[in-house]
Structure 1
């Protein structure tokens, strides 16, 4: 699954366009490297997202095409 779509589905970032812009600006790292929005994600990958001066780090636990709002938190684990 594409990184920008995963960020939206997991609700780490609310909108896909915002996720796409964050990737384009180098604010999203995938396994320690700057990631493009089209990068493929898989379980076990580590995400680092910079929100202003705060950095959120999470491990991808599952990749699903659709998920209910209540179950979105089960797709990742904060580190």
Structure 2
């Protein structure tokens, strides 16, 4: 299965260094509740930004790579 490099991932999703939770949920294809469950499990690190929370684009890319790796294991 093909993987996007970090640069390709950021360009494809038009991301800045910090990503708001709504956008992160859309990219990760999960709802808010599942997103916060994943954050509690350590898949996402929440970055305080005033009264809001963000994640890094790099963190989203790492999650993407983990999903690709899991899919590759299941296919074999």
Larger radius of gyration: 2
Does TM, scored on the shorter chain, surpass 0.5? no
So what's the TM-score if we normalise by structure 1?
0.37
In proportion to residue count, which structure has more strand?
Answer: 1
1 or 2 for the larger relative contact order (CA 8 Å, sep ≥6)? Answer: 2
| TM-score computed with the length of structure 2 as normaliser | 0.38
